[in-house]
Amino acid sequence: VQIYRNYNFRTQVLVASVRHPMHVVEAGLIGADVVTMPFKVLEQMIKHPLTDIGLERFLDDWRKAQAELEKRFEKVK
């Protein structure tokens, strides 16, 4: 991408047939415009065990806060 920019070429860079989520990250870092990948790689990019753990913790906290708010609201009635 830098070479194309150095010579002021008007083009877009496509990184094809990516097989790992880190390759998508690397493609973005080099400035690729488009990446093609199997659906499995896309799924791997949006699903991560730490994301699941974080989401579950957030939802647990939300449920606790919601229950506390409901208790306080009933006391006001």
Give pLDDT tens digits for 22-76.
999 999 999 999 999 999 999 998 888 888 899 999 999 999 999 999 988 887 7
Return the pLDDT at 37: 97
Q: 53 and 36, same structural domain?
A: no
Domain span at residue 57? 47-76
pTM above 0.85, yes or no: no
Q: Is the pLDDT of residue 77 over 90?
A: no
**Burial letters 11-44, b for 16+ CB under 10 A, else e:** eeeebeebeebeebeebeeeebeebebeeebeee
Return the pLDDT at 51: 87
Return the pLDDT at 74: 85
Q: 65 and 54, same structural domain?
A: yes
Domain count, the chain: 2
Mean of pLDDT values over 4-20: 95
List Cβ neighbours of 38 (8 Å cut-off, separation of 6 or more).
19
Q: 53 and 34, same structural domain?
A: no
Q: 65 and 29, same structural domain?
A: no
